Amino acid sequence: MNWRDHITIDPDICHGKACIAGTRIMVSVILDKLAAGLSPDEIVSSYPSLNREAVQAQPFLLSRHESR
């Protein structure tokens, strides 16, 4: 899974914060929900514009960022 396919950063969307591609849902929102114990399926049901693969890509982004 390539997390880059699921994340965009655009200075004109959400003040340049990382978002799920094609949405205005910030990555931080999804990571917070995962940290709170929600499953990817629960998150997708709350955000119908997301798919399970996009939600599952978020921890990959976080681990990549933290390893720098």
* Cα separation, 32 vs 43, whole angstroms: 11
Q: Are 32 and 38 in contact (CB under 8 A)?
A: no
> Tens digits of per-residue pLDDT, 26-54?
999 998 998 899 998 999 999 999 988 88
Q: pLDDT band for position 65 (50/70/90)?
A: very low
C-alpha of 28 from chain center: 7
Give the pTM: 0.77
Res. 67: pLDDT tops 50: no
CA distance 34 to 59: 9
The Cα 17–Cα 8 span in angstroms is 8
pLDDT, residue 24, reads 94
The CATH architecture that domain 3-66 belongs to is Orthogonal Bundle (1.10)
Q: Where are the domains positioned within the chain?
A: 3-66
Instruction: Specify the pLDDT at position 42.
Output: 94
Beta-strand ranges (E) seen in the chain are 7-8, 19-20
